[in-house]
């Protein structure tokens, strides 16, 4: 894997998009350069992070040798290497050309890429106080390093010369022209033309933001390591036995008596869905939604306010009206207005559906004599009652058929049938960073050639951030030689008690397929230049969302949804009831997500940054008519997508933008009469999955579908009324 140019400059050095490793001051660089240059040979002998990766699949990370104290020396040596590589490009006496400027810059930083790949796992999957201390020190130092390295005037002059000479460079291919254009235009967007005090201030902002991102993510993680202790069997009323065992295991890990409800989504969601103790549902709910917002040492409100102030200042320095305009300059939506237009056209239908869902839940509560008004901590609980009442189905009936092991086999089966990818488990043959991590060799079933290695980290644990994500430790490219992909999916399912089968919910199974869709995207990539591998933020979620659709196909359910005790396949009548309920509770799902996306956009689509985070959140939700019975999927004080890096800031809308393409893509398969249609799958792969960012993504979509995506497909998929909105716009 080689870091694309602007991933480094814009502070997104880690593909996980959470820690945002980035930089160092000029004085620090100069003082360290000589030390690093002379110390590197010895450091390489002593520091395993600096060695070339060895072993199968063209080398794998030495997870079994990684320690927190390895990273400082590794970063210093990697920076010295990158500095020398860039200087060699700058010192080239020949006039700047694509071949002697853009191309060698595509190939720099092998050591840094290896070190950062491993550090991303250290701070996301197995974090502890030592790793957090390293992160707090090195996030700002690396941010400043990248800022200074890539924005050197001599280097920018070479990029500019290539860019301005494109009309005369008739021998360049379309891909080379696209790369040269994107390289220079993105440098411009990131401060290449700033001089003097403005340039110095941009470096300071970059460094300050990196430190604040680290501070934010560590505070949220600290709150997620807290728990509510249940000390009476009465507190367990309504909870499935398998989940009770998980709670007991969590308590034992923390060396306390009783049952521990850890403050993460993987514990909160099943508790609220099943517990008949309304008082405890409220307690668990409040603890979860108030992460980072308790006025204590882990409160993030002041951190967020600082981040917003610096982002606004940076946008102005770079010549953009707002942070949102800056972040969206290289997206499919193009402008904040286009993104908000799509969101607000879907919002009214979602809110209207919530009103219906709440009325249905209230009717059941009244019929049962509960004597309550539906509150946010009741939504999941009574939604299950409605589903059982309407479709004679509840989660407890479905879950026994969703064995995690079977669902893993199912996602591999689908990838093989659609894309000829074959997965063979080889756990134990390569190092892993935690004993539960499994590995799979990936080959092309057509000719048996190696594609790469797939890591699967399924279970929640202390030190692992919440949520689910995909990352690569090494990505595909052709420039510099083909290499095996090292891809990883990371989930937070609750680990079963010893000797028990791992069962997951339907929502968990959907998450499994979603993250695997990201993995498929990277495993199928076939690009020449690394700089044309990354896609716009509002395209990234598209392949993963498409992949979710195959989970509930008859073939998958009939083959893999077998009862964990009897081994019997899911009864066809239950399959049919699941299909009938596919649009159930879509009001909740849409409003929970979309409220977060709208607040994100309005937070960043303003010239003057807000200072009172909680007040802004409340006022914005009131303004758009947020239902009282639902809370944002990610409240601002814990919104890692926005404040642990720039990655999804002014970009959380991208899930909806991507889902519009996803829904329209799925209709192409459905309309063909065969959801496994290989002609469509091959076209999808050739135009969109394998091509990275080699062509404009909107044009690539039109090549695949023959037109722009139909937004009505999204409404149909969610069961909302259609015919009131049109298609998404072009790039411009």
Using the CB atoms, write b or e for 709-729: b if 16+ within 10 Å.
bbbbbbbbbbbbeeeebeebe
Round to the nearest angstrom and report the end-to-end CA distance of the chain.
31
Residues 6+ apart with CB under 8 A from 682: none
* Helices 336-367 and 379-391: angle between axes, nearest 10 degrees: 70
Distance separating alpha carbons of residues 271 and 263, to the nearest angstrom: 11
Distance separating alpha carbons of residues 142 and 22, to the nearest angstrom: 4
Residues 6+ apart with CB under 8 A from 455: 432, 437, 438, 439, 473, 486, 487, 488, 489
Written as one string, the DSSP assignment of 91-128 is: T--SPP-IIIIIHHHHT--HHHHHHHHHHHHHHHTS--
Three-state DSSP at 169 gives coil
DSSP 8-state secondary structure symbol assigned to residue 685:
I
Could you tell me the CA-to-CA distances from 21 to 139, 146, 646, 659 in Å, in that order? Answer: 5, 9, 11, 29
The residue length of the chain stands at 732
Distance separating alpha carbons of residues 330 and 189, to the nearest angstrom: 10
Could you tell me the CA-to-CA distances from 228 to 259, 261, 264 in Å, in that order? Answer: 8, 5, 11
Could you tell me the CA-to-CA distances from 507 to 8, 230, 693 in Å, in that order? Answer: 34, 25, 31
Please name which of 64, 48, 16 lies closest in space to residue 437, comparing C-alpha atoms.
64
Distance separating alpha carbons of residues 365 and 379, to the nearest angstrom: 11
Inter-residue contact 236 to 204 (CB < 8 Å): no
Residue 177 CA, chain-centre distance (Å), reads 30
Q: Pairing state of beta strands 469-474 and 485-493? A: antiparallel
Tokens of 617: 């959140």
Tokens of 310: 């610096």
Distance separating alpha carbons of residues 156 and 35, to the nearest angstrom: 27
Is the CA virtual torsion 44, 45, 47, 53 positive or negative? positive
Tokens of 253: 């890990």
So which residues are the catalytic ones? 515
Distance separating alpha carbons of residues 248 and 230, to the nearest angstrom: 9
Three-state DSSP at 299 gives coil
Three-state DSSP at 382 gives helix
Distance separating alpha carbons of residues 386 and 585, to the nearest angstrom: 9
Inter-residue contact 517 to 545 (CB < 8 Å): yes
Using the CB atoms, write b or e for 562-571: b if 16+ within 10 Å.
bebeeeebbe
Inter-residue contact 18 to 644 (CB < 8 Å): yes
Written as one string, the DSSP assignment of 228-274 is: EEE-SGGGGTT--HHHHHHHHHHHHHTT-SSEEEESSHHHHHHHHHH
What's the half-sphere exposure (Cβ side, CA atoms, 13 Å) at 658? 24
């Amino acid at each position: 894997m080689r870091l694309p140019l602007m991933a480094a400059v814009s502070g997104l050095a880690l593909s996980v998009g959470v820690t945002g490793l980035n930089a160092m001051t000029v004085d620090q660089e100069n003082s360290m350069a000589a030390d690093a240059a002379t110390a590197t040979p010895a450091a390489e002998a002593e520091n395993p992070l600096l060695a070339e990766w060895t072993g199968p699949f063209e080398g794998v990370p030495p997870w079994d040798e990684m320690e927190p104290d390895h990273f400082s020396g590794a970063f210093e040596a990697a920076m010295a290497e990158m500095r020398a590589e860039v200087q060699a490009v700058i010192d080239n006496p020949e006039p700047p050309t694509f071949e002697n400027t853009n191309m060698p810059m595509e190939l720099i930083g092998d050591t840094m890429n290896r070190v950062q790949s491993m550090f991303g796992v250290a701070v996301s999957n197995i974090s502890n106080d030592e790793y957090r201390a390293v992160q707090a020190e090195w996030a700002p130092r690396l941010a400043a390093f990248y800022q200074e390295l890539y924005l050197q005037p001599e280097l920018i002059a070479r990029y500019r010369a290539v860019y301005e000479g494109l009309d005369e460079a008739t021998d360049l291919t379309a891909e080379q022209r696209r790369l040269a254009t994107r390289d220079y235009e993105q440098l411009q967007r990131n401060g290449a033309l700033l001089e003097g005090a403005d340039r110095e201030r941009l470096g300071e902002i970059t460094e300050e933001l990196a430190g604040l991102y680290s501070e934010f993510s560590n505070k949220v993680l600290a709150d997620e390591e807290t728990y509510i202790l249940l000390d009476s069997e009465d507190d367990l009323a309504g909870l499935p036995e398998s989940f009770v065992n998980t709670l007991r295991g969590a308590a034992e890990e923390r060396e306390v008596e009783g049952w521990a409800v850890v403050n993460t989504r993987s514990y909160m969601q099943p508790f609220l869905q099943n517990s008949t103790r309304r008082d405890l549902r409220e307690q668990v709910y409040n603890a979860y939604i108030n992460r980072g917002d308790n006025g204590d040492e882990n409160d993030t409100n002041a951190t967020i306010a600082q981040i917003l102030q610096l982002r606004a200042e940076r946008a102005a320095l770079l010549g953009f009206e707002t942070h949102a305009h800056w972040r969206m300059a290289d997206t499919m939506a193009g402008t904040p207005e286009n993104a908000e237009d799509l969101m607000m056209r879907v919002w009214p239908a979602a809110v209207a559906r919530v009103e219906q869902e709440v009325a249905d839940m209230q009717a059941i509560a009244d019929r049962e004599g509960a004597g309550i008004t539906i509150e946010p901590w009741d939504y999941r609980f009574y939604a299950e009652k409605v589903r059982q009442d309407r479709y004679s189905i509840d989660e407890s009936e479905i879950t026994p058929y969703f064995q995690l092991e079977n669902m893993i086999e199912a996602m591999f089966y689908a990838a093989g049938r659609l894309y000829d990818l074959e997965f063979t488990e080889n756990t134990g043959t390569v190092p892993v960073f935690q004993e539960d991590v499994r590995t799979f060799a990936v080959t092309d079933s057509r000719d048996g050639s190696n594609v790469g290695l797939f890591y699967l980290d399924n279970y929640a644990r202390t030190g692992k951030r919440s949520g689910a994500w995909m990352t690569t430790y090494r990505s595909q490219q052709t420039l510099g030689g083909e290499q095996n992909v090292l891809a990883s999916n990371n989930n937070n399912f609750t680990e079963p008690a010893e000797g028990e089968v791992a069962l997951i919910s339907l929502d968990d199974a959907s998450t499994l397929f979603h993250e695997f869709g990201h993995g498929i995207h990277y495993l199928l990539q076939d690009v020449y230049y690394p700089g044309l591998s990354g896609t716009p933020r509002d395209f990234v979620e598209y392949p993963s969302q498409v992949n979710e659709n195959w989970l509930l196909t008859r073939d998958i359910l009939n083959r893999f949804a077998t009862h964990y005790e009897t081994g019997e396949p899911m009864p066809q009548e239950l399959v049919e009831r699941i299909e009938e309920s596919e649009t159930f509770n879509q009001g909740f799902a849409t409003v929970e997500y979309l409220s977060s996306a709208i607040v994100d956009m309005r937070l960043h689509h303003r010239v003057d940054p807000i200072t009172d985070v909680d007040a802004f959140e409340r006022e914005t939700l009131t303004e758009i008519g947020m239902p009282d019975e639902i809370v944002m999927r990610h409240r601002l004080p814990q919104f890692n997508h926005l404040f642990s890096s720039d990655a999804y800031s002014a970009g959380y809308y991208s899930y909806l933008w991507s889902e519009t393409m996803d829904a329209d893509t799925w209709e192409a398969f459905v309309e063909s009469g065969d959801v496994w249609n290989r002609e469509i799958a091959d076209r999808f792969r050739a135009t969109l999955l394998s091509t990275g960012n080699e062509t404009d993504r909107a044009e690539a979509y039109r090549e695949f579908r023959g037109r722009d995506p139909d937004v009505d497909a999204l409404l149909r998929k969610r069961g909302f009324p259609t015919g009131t909105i049109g298609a998404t716009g072009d790039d411009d």
